Every structure is written in C-alpha cells, then in structure tokens.
Amino acid sequence: MAILRRGGLVAFPTETVYGLGADASNPDAVARIYQVKGRPAGHPVIVHIGDIGQLARWARDVPEAATKLATHFWPGPLTLVLRRAPNVDSQLSGGQDTIGLRVPGHPVALQLLREFGGGIAAPSANRFGRISPTTAEHVRSDLASEVELILDGGACEIGIESTIVDLSRGRPVLLRPGRIAAGDIAAQLGVAPLARDSAAPRAPGELAAHYAPRQPLRLIASDRWERSVQGSSRGRGVLSFRSAPEGDMSAMWIEGPREPWRYGHDLYANLRALDSSGCDRILVEGPPDTLEWAAIRDRLTRAGSV
C-alpha cells in the first residue's frame, strides 16, 4: 500500500493476467508505467477499481447498459470503456475522452484495491507488444528490476486478457474478445455488441502485431496441418492438438488442451515455454472456427502477424 501511495509500481495477479499497477490518481506514477513497459504514450490503460460504487469517480454519463453489465459481470473479466469524468488524468486514456474501468475478480487484486481505496491503473505486466504474464515468475523474468513489489497469486485462472466493451458511443462495441463472449453481453443487454471498426478508439490490443513471442509464429489451419508439418525438425517449437509423432525431434512439442478454457489458461505459458525452447520458429495448429474459441483465435492471430 505504502508503495502505491508514494508513486511506486506493484505487480499483482488478476483472474485474467498479471497487471502492472500504479496509483491512477498520480500522473507521475502512471507515467512510470509507460516508461517501464516501453509503451508509447497515447495507448490507454485500464483503471481497476474495488467496486461498482467507484464508477462515478472515473466516468460520467454512465449509461444503463454499463450498470447492467457491471452489476452482472463484476468482479470479473470485463472492461467497460465509458466517458471520462472531468478531472481524471487524460494520460490514463491516451488523451481520449474515455476511460477503461474494471473490477477484477481475483481475491488478491480485490484486497489490494480495497485496502488502497482508490483506482489502480494497470496494463498487463509485460513489455509492450510481448506476451502477457500469467504467473508471478513471468513478471519477474520480464520486469523484476523495475517493479517495487510483485504479489504472487499463482497462475491466473483465465489466462487471457479481459473482454473490452465500449459503451461511450451509444451502441456497445466489442473492442477485445475474452472469456465473456459477445453472446454473454447480448444476453444481458438484449442487443448484440457491434464488432470494432475503424472509428473505434485506439487500443494496443487492436494492433496487428501484439502478444508476440520473440520467435516467428505461424498459425496453421488444422486441415492443412499434416501437409505443412511433415518430417521432423530440431528448429521448430510446436503447439498442436495432436501428440508428437514417434521419434519427433522438435525443440519442443506441446499438446494443447482441447477445451477452450483450459487452452486459454495455458496459452501464454505455453508460448513462453516454446519461445525459450531453443527453437527458431513456432508452429501453432489453428483452433476450431467456433465462437467459444474466438478470443483464443484473436490472440493467436495477433501473435502470428509479425
């Protein structure tokens, strides 16, 4: 707590990924987040709050849809983009007139927020453009020297970042898919969120190359897998739904879970393991083209577009 109050950085677990937290009301502390992540200014960060009652401190003209979604899904893996309240540091929203808010569903995060009392600005605790951390060890290996404290809450339950819904422009827009799916939003609002479009606010999660490992990653459709991944090569790292063929020499071969929630839970840890396996390229078998794999396909597609 003292660290946050004096403008320091605290990495903490959430149910999605680890966050790199700073006092959202302290512009110098928020500036340090950008510096440590190597994140360009102009990319907004999410302000984490302890309960729905704090919405009014950060957002104005909160629509009924936001109250509905927050009441139903918070604490949980949903970020709402709302119109920014006056007096809120515009640095938090990269200069836009909106603000991203979320009550995370992890007990350690909630305790931190409740003891701190204010909002905690926190992007994922990785360097800009790299894979989000889902364990305290991942944060340590990325940012240890620059963070005052890393709270260890074990492996993140969900493993991919929160769903982001923009409610600042009338019709809800799904800016980033996540565990909470478009259909879950529609069920609460009675109207389906629009897909993001060119008028949507900028978000690094929307950049093509994001969440990327160091080694080039190729996403290969399942029905082309046999043809594309023939023979054996020491140079490749593989994440597939199949097991490694007899005598395979790949630097590493990971058989991914067939259940999307488990696959998401392991995804970033698996990509990190492949990345440091000594391979020179990563081959990933594309997941099924169904709605329940949408958020994972989104992350894999971005990881691949380098």
Applying CB under 6 A, the residues found at the interface with ligand TXA are 14, 16-17, 19, 43-46, 79, 81, 93, 96, 98-100, 102, 104, 122-124, 161-162, 164, 175, 201, 203-205
**Least Cβ distance, residue 81 to ligand TXA (angstroms):** 4
Give the 3-state secondary structure of residue 156: coil
d(CA 153, CA 127): 20
- Selection from ligand TXA, Mg ion, none that 43 binds (CB < 5 to 8 A by kind) is ligand TXA
Integer Cα distance of 205 and 144 in angstroms? 23
CB of residue 132 vs Mg ion: minimum separation in angstroms?
5
Instruction: Name the residue number minimizing CB distance to ligand TXA.
Output: 100
Is 14 one of the binding residues for Mg ion (CB under 5 A)? no
173 makes contact, choosing from ligand TXA, Mg ion, none, with CB < 5 to 8 Å by partner type, with none
The site string for Mg ion over 21-60 (x = CB under 5 A, - otherwise) reads ----------------------------------------
Residue 209 Cβ, how far from ligand TXA at the closest point, in Å?
Answer: 13
Nearby residues of 80 by Cβ (< 8 Å), 6 or more positions away: 66, 69, 70, 100, 101, 102, 164, 165, 167
> How remote is the C-alpha of 229 from its chain's centroid?
30
Enumerate residues 6+ apart whose C-beta is below 8 A from 193: 165, 171, 172, 173, 174, 182, 185, 186
Q: What is the signed CA dihedral for 50, 160, 99, 205, rounded to 10 degrees? A: 160
Which of ligand TXA, Mg ion, none is residue 201 near (CB under 5 to 8 Å by kind)?
A: ligand TXA
Window 91-130: contact mask with Mg ion (x via CB under 5 A): ---------------------------------x------
Compare residues 79 and 270 and give the one whose CB is closer to Mg ion: 79
Residue 128 burial (C-beta neighbours within 10 Å; 0-12, 13-18, 19+): middle
Q: Which is nearer to ligand TXA, 10 or 219 (CB)?
A: 10
State in angstroms the smallest separation of the CB of 78 from ligand TXA: 9
- What's the N-to-C CA distance of the chain in angstroms? 39
Given ligand TXA, Mg ion, none, residue 19, with its beta carbon under 5 to 8 Å by kind, binds ligand TXA
Residues 6 or more apart in contact with residue 45 via CB below 8 angstroms: 30, 33, 92, 100, 121, 122, 123
The residue (of 158 and 284) whose beta carbon lies closer to ligand TXA is 158
Q: What is the token pair recorded at 2?
A: 């003292």
Nearest approach, Cβ of residue 266 and ligand TXA (Å): 16
Nearer to ligand TXA, 44 or 153 (CB): 44
Q: Whose Cβ is closer to ligand TXA: residue 177's or residue 201's?
A: 201
Host H or E run for residue 275: helix 260-275
Closest separation in Å from C-beta 40 to ligand TXA:
11
**3-class SS shares of the chain: helix, strand, coil, % to 5:** 35, 20, 45
Which ranges constitute the DSSP H helices of 178-248?
A: 182-189, 225-228
Other C-beta atoms closer than 10 Å to the C-beta of 20 total 28
Q: Which does 302 bind (CB under 5 to 8 A by kind): Mg ion, ligand TXA, none?
A: none
Tell me how far, at minimum, the Cβ of 118 lies from ligand TXA, in Å.
16
Identify whether the C-beta of residue 26 lies closer than 8 Å to the C-beta of residue 126: no
- Binding footprint of Mg ion, residue count (CB under 5 A): 1
- The residues of the shown chain that bind Mg ion, judged by CB under 5 A, are 124
